[in-house]
Structure 1
Amino acid sequence: MMDKIQPKSTEGGTMSALKIIGIDLAKTNFYLFIINELGKPTEKIKLTRTRLLNWLAQKPQTIVAMEACGASHHWACEIKKLGHQVVLLPAQHVRAYQRRQKNDYNDAQAIAEACQHGAIRPVPVKTLEQQDLQTFLKMRQLVSMERTQLINHVRGLLAEYGIVLNKGATELRQKLPALLEDAENGLTDVMRALLHRQLIRLTALGDELEWYNSEQKKYVRHDPVCQRLLEIPGFGPLVSQAIKSWMGDGKQFNRGRDASAALGLVPRQFSTGGKQVLLGITKRGNAWVRSMLIHGSRAVLFRTGGKTDPLSVWVNRIREKRGFNRAVVALANKLLRIAWVIIARHEVYTPVMMKNQ
């Protein structure tokens, strides 16, 4: 995608480039900063939300750069329909191009100059299907978090009355009705009424989460990419769908290591004076997707003891030298690289067996 942004040779031998328009998105008013074909700032303009597309429709083909933020994928799709090239840039990398005081015009200038520099890997524009998948995962995550918060809330309140329950939704759903019926546990009528309402909420959240899980299994069952991802150790329906939603078609990465770096699974460097120092992982990118992948890798590592396939032998050797947690992260790094090959190159996971097997 970035190749289209670089200057192109004309038949006369001179170099020409497209104009770059940096847009600072907002809810109502958009601020634009324009860099001409020679790379010089030429204009800055303020447009309302309703005027933006009409203004761009009157312009010749140009490069429109925006930060990858809320509603940016919607605007990117609409602007691409007008014939313009759209570049979405990660907001954390655009920040380095900001100078002077922070205001909307300076933000738009930083976006345009970051696009002009061409060193930042752009964010792929999501299709409506990809946005639907991402929305599904976010809603499921919200329901799961609400249920966990409710469980911890009720357990904490019961502990104040001397009733201690084990962790987990099953424990609370099974024992809470009995606590409400027990007249000798010291709970007041007010507390019983409050707990009854919380039990209704817990049941409703559990049923809603089951619906999301059921729909997730249906999607994975009929999606060819997720079906191939399921063959990877530690990849269940949730991890497969999360990795597909985050990675897309994988074409934005040149290799699997780039995908691992984007998800924050590579060591953080603090090197100077020719001395290389590697610290913990960078933890960049989507924290929830990374945590799902880590959980899947941990489940695999729990079951690698005694296995002789190359992957198990490799990760067991790391566990012996570096410990369990580092082995989990190393395995997550390798599994993500495998997932990138499966998604970007449309390959199928075929585990390599030992020669003596």
Structure 2
Amino acid sequence: MEYFAGLDVSMEETHICVVDRDGAIVFETQAISSAAAIAEALGAAPTCRRVVFETGRMAPMLFHGLAELKVPVICIESRQAYQALKTLTTHKTDRNDARGLAQLARTGFYKAVHVKSLPAHAVRALIVARKKLVGQRVTLENQIRGLAMVFGVRLPRGLSPAFVDQVVQMSASIPGLSGAMRGLVAARAAVLEAVSAIDADVKRLVRVSDACQRLMTIPGVGQLTALAFAAAVDDPSRFRRSRDLGAYLGLVPRRYQSGEIDYVGSISKVGDKRVRTLLYEAANVMLTRYKGELKLKDWALAIARRSTMRKARIALARRLAIIMHAMLRHGTEFRPA
């Protein structure tokens, strides 16, 4: 007899349900949301062929922890599971969700997703933290600039050396404004120091990564883009075709078809937003700053002449994703042609 399990994971507890091949419930329990506790709870049930749970914040830790403990765990797409679970029960409870997930595991009606390795998640955390800090720096500079504008002072660019000097000079004779500006400038300096520390980590990671070094041979692809793309792909072999990267990163047009209606819209924008943005920026650099001869650039400029520069950047970003995946998969460098 085959058995299947569903795990409804929350921060504190995980509801576990095991069903047999016919869908009858044979085991139910709760466990602390840790890989060891869940594996121990499943040890009291019949050996399961599949154990499924949904994507979420705790998915990487639980997936890799359970896999190390030899549990046949599968992480499934939460949006698809949500739509399926809505049709199974009237009331949404953790217990019912675990039962529904067990039924999905039994029937195979789920979409399995790749759970990135923990080092890849660590790199992604580094990139997300940098983006957040840069946003905080811009917010502080805009706040300083707005306060200065009230007193008729126009400040230079935030990263110019004269920025802080002019802020201090213009606020020195105004007691209340001086204290506010000193606090904002100190906060900005702390944020800049944190960004510099993250940039040093990025340089160190790129320096020891052969994959990133190969990706950076593409004009317009810098350290941050190479590192973010390598972390997003994680395992190049999980994509059967390089062209699948366009859809994975949301760089292909969204399509809706029903009967006589067949609508092709703008790009879907699913997947990793930060990687998509970095690829778009790399495409823009190649089109506007790279002065060498490159057929890839000429191809994108031809699209711009037929349509718009924005569509050319998107098309080039999609092509860059395909090329970069092929480079990661085959261990090759960029060959301008």
TM (normalized to structure 2)?
Answer: 0.88
What residue number does 1:303 align with?
289
Counterparts of 1:7-18 in structure 2 under 5 Å? none
Aligned Cα root-mean-square deviation (Å): 2.5
What residue number does 2:7 align with?
23
2:159 corresponds to 1:170: yes
Aligned mates of 1:226, 1:75 — CA distance in 2: 28
Distance 1:162 1:42, change over 3 A: farther
Q: Deviations over 1:22-74 (max 9, x none)?
A: 21111112112333234555544333336423212445253221222112111
Q: Which amino acid aligns with 2:206?
A: V
Partner SS, residue 262 of structure 2: coil
Q: Which amino acid aligns with 1:314?
A: W
2:329 corresponds to 1:341: no
Aligned mates of 1:255, 1:92 — CA distance in 2: 24
Partner SS, residue 238 of structure 2: coil
What residue number does 1:204 align with?
190
Partner SS, residue 169 of structure 1: coil
2:174 corresponds to 1:188: yes
What residue number does 1:221 align with?
207
Q: Percent identity?
A: 22
Does the CA-based 8 Å contact 1:269-1:276 persist in structure 2? Answer: yes
Q: What is the CA distance between 1:296 and its match in structure 2?
A: 1.3
Distance 1:258 1:290, change over 3 A: same
Does the CA-based 8 Å contact 1:56-1:82 persist in structure 2? Answer: no
Q: Which amino acid aligns with 1:32?
A: I
Does the CA-based 8 Å contact 1:80-1:86 persist in structure 2? Answer: yes
What residue number does 1:104 align with?
94
Distance 1:211 1:319, change over 3 A: same
Q: Which amino acid aligns with 1:158?
A: A
TM (normalized to structure 1)?
Answer: 0.84
Aligned mates of 1:120, 1:321 — CA distance in 2: 42
Aligned mates of 2:129, 2:18 — CA distance in 1: 38
What residue number does 2:126 align with?
136
2:25 corresponds to 1:35: no
Aligned mates of 1:47, 1:229 — CA distance in 2: 44
Counterparts of 1:198-347 in structure 2 under 5 Å? 198-303=184-289, 308-347=293-332
Partner SS, residue 179 of structure 2: helix
Does the CA-based 8 Å contact 2:304-2:312 persist in structure 1? Answer: yes
What residue number does 1:9 align with?
none
Q: Which amino acid aligns with 1:170?
A: L
Q: Deviations over 1:184-230 (max 9, x none)?
A: x9x62111111011111111211221121122112111101111111
* Matched length: 331
Q: Deviations over 1:293-318 (max 9, x none)?
A: 1111111121367x653212211111
Aligned mates of 2:290, 2:109 — CA distance in 1: 41
Q: Deviations over 1:249-308 (max 9, x none)?
A: 123221123222121111000223255321000000121221111111111121367x65
2:53 corresponds to 1:66: yes
Q: Which runs of 5+ in 1 are unaligned?
A: 1-15, 353-357
Partner SS, residue 91 of structure 2: coil
Does the CA-based 8 Å contact 1:95-1:110 persist in structure 2? Answer: no
Q: What is the CA distance between 1:116 and its match in structure 2?
A: 4.7
Does the CA-based 8 Å contact 1:259-1:340 persist in structure 2? Answer: yes
Distance 1:19 1:210, change over 3 A: same
Q: What is the CA distance between 1:178 and its match in structure 2?
A: 2.5
Aligned mates of 2:91, 2:236 — CA distance in 1: 37
What residue number does 2:137 align with?
147
Q: Which amino acid aligns with 2:182?
A: H
Structure with bigger RCO (C-alpha 8 Å, 6+ apart):
2
Aligned mates of 2:221, 2:102 — CA distance in 1: 39
Does the CA-based 8 Å contact 1:57-1:82 persist in structure 2? Answer: no
Does the CA-based 8 Å contact 1:242-1:289 persist in structure 2? Answer: yes
Distance 1:138 1:229, change over 3 A: same
Does the CA-based 8 Å contact 2:39-2:71 persist in structure 1? Answer: no
Partner SS, residue 155 of structure 2: coil
